[in-house]
Amino acid sequence: MESTTNAFYDFVNTLLIPHLKALRDKPNATPRQKVMSEIMSSVDRTRVDTQRNLLDVLDKIHEISLDTVDDTHVFALSQIYEGLLLKMGEKGNDGGQFFTPREVIRAIVEVIAPKVGETVCDPCCGTGGFLAQAYEFMRGQLGENATGDQIETLKHKTFYGREKENLVYPIALANLVLHGIDEPHLWHGNTLTREEIYGGLYQNAPGQFEVIVTNPPFGGKEGEDAQTRFAYKSRATEVLFLQDVMETLKTGGRCAIVLPEGILFQTNQDAFVKTKRRLLDTCDLWCVLSLPGGVFTATGAGVKTNVLFFTKGRPTEKIWYFDLSDVKVAKKTPFTRQQLAEFYKLLPDRADSERSWTLDIAKRRRDAKTEADKLRATTAEPKARLKKHQEQLDLLKKAKAKPEKLEEVKKLITACEREIREIESKAQTIEDAAFDLKAVNPSAKSTEDTRSSAELMDLIETKGREVLELLGTLRSL
């Protein structure tokens, strides 16, 4: 018996696993075979430690069949799998960078509300959480009256994603299959460089999508090869991913993207400003949800984040903000649906409250341009002087004037050019400042100490005298 057990264990490791991994390369391989092959792509041998344990596991799995497991059980299996991914995502584990908290994913999907017939994409899908939640939402919207064509579309022609990490890509495939997506169209490779590792599941994928939901990696730095595709060069991955999303979103399509707060308030880097300018010019950024600072702490990221919701095809006039930045979130006090209750309630009318407000970004940009143009108008006088000095220099050169005289006029020209540059730089800074999109709640109670330095020094002096008086009293006792 032992030799038989050993033989079977060897069969699994030396024949079965290599066979499954090679399925994708078979002539006329089916989508299901390709998915299975890619799920096994990072498996070299079974992780079960002994032959006996492997047989016991297989006996348990054998009991799971279509006759004994209904859709409710499959859903439970998918939840168990996601629970394992959550454990991976906790700080200190390898999967942290790939897990987005469930309530953030659910909120994003429910607000974007993808419909059956629309294509849904996550260009950096990680373990597939956004796509899995989108499937559950869309399947729920169909209800019991779903037609066969609708189910076919949902399972085979709806979900697309990209993932770079070798270990995460097969995990995402398994996650999506467990959720009921029979044909997940996931591309294995670097989204930013378009360097492909395997694209067999992504064949015939559309170039643009109706819905994009994503939480791209941020804080990373990309080399020049990742920047070549983009109009605005930056090593900040969040800037590049935002440009990528705008390119791959269909006109009329909807997107929700998690971004670090830095990309909202940065106005001193050219790529940040120009990317946001394109966003506001070509898309309607209709909502910014400011998340609590601790939402991603459990996954090892303490950076403050926001969710940007936008529709491509019309410029942004007004942005509705909802602020949850004061909510305390930690490992023992996780982010919950209840904390989003007011957001869901106010969103349909974009109503104002102590947590929400509307920014007329179109007016802000117009006002900034008006102010900047007034400042630019002041360059007329130094430009006139510059022209006069340049003409004078030409005459002096023709007259073969002394070098000292030429140098004197050149200094005047340089001074005029510097003055013009400084004015134009200040004007551009005024215009760029309009692209500070950070969520600053006008109703928030300020904790800033507004006392002047003189007032603070007077207070210190007063308190010092009180301390001396108390010390004198104590010494006299």
pTM above 0.95, yes or no: no
Give mean pLDDT, residues 20-27: 72
**257 bridge partner residues:** 214, 308
Residue in the structure block whose two tokens are 């993207």: 257
Secondary structure letter of residue 13 according to DSSP: I
**What residues contact 198, with CB distance under 8 A and at least 6 apart?**
24, 38, 41, 187, 188, 189
Q: pLDDT, tens digit, for every residue of 214-231? A: 999 876 666 788 888 999
pLDDT at 160 over 70: yes
Closest of 26, 77, 402, 34 to residue 183, by C-alpha: 34
Long-range contacts (CB closer than 8 Å, 24 or more residues apart) made by 338-342: 339/103, 339/292, 340/103, 340/107
Q: What is the pLDDT of residue 84?
A: 53
**pLDDT confidence bin for 63, thresholds 50/70/90:** low
- Residues 146-155 have a mean pLDDT of 91
C-alpha–C-alpha distance, residues 389 and 82, integer Å: 72
The CATH number of 71-359 is which of 1.10.10.10, 3.40.50.2020, 3.40.50.150, 1.20.1070.10?
Answer: 3.40.50.150
Residue 49's pLDDT band (cuts 50, 70, 90): confident
Residue 92 has pLDDT above 50, yes or no: no
Task: With H, G, I as helix, E, B as strand and everything else as coil, classify residue 214.
Answer: strand
Residue 385: strand, helix, or coil = helix
The helix (run of H) or strand (run of E) holding residue 311 is strand 305-312
CB neighbour list of residue 183: distance below 8 Å, 6 or more residues apart? 31, 32, 35, 155, 156, 157, 201
